[in-house]
Amino acid sequence: MTYDHLHPDFRHVMLLSDAERIEFLQQPRWISYADAQHGLDTLQSLFHAPKRPRMPNLLICAESYNGKTTLIRRFQHLCGQGYMDAQAEPVKPLLLAEAPPQAGEKEVYVCLLEQFFTPYRITDPPAKLRYQLIHLCRVCKVRMIIIDEFHSLLEGTSRQQRVVMNTLKLLCNELMIPIVCVGTQKAKQALQIDPQYASRFDVLTSVISGRPKGQASSQRIRPVRTATGS
């Protein structure tokens, strides 16, 4: 039997056993489309942006089970693979972590330090963990930080949320790299706590969050105005 009707790259699969072909079919694959490519292009633009005192940041919003994590994992595959440079020094261009289950400065440092696979003391004070994280980011030439499940940080109090946002602002200012947060529509609330947070983040929504095809959009979050005196 010939398999001329199949693409040459996949004809060898027909010679595998049933179990191997089933495993091949179940492997994850990336299928691109216009809005997903727009998301990747936006991330690429941030990734290659030159360093400056106030770096642009991004919040990617979509409802659950709509491909947010797949999008950032695809970007990690394309741009975030670690390697050794010409001086045999380790380079980790992208730091991708999942938001901690509760809001807190120390929790943010720990979830990011975990991505370096390096020893640290969880009992250390936040200032020491912050120094270690910033040092590792500089040594490994990190160019972008992505935090998935960002809406989890809303489980804390308003004060805890402010602490987390101030922590991210500090990292962005100190390292002069963009920070990308990924979450549900609920994540926008974290940017409404204070005008200074909203002004630092653009928001990207797309077809994965229910928009009609071809209507990916970027927007700026407006801070919530609190009522004062009567």
pLDDT of 161 reads 86
pLDDT of 206 reads 57
Q: Is the pLDDT of residue 135 over 70?
A: yes
pLDDT of 215 reads 47
Alpha-carbon distance of 35 to 43, in angstroms, equals 13
Residues 6 or more apart in contact with residue 10 via CB below 8 angstroms: none
* pTM for the full predicted model: 0.83
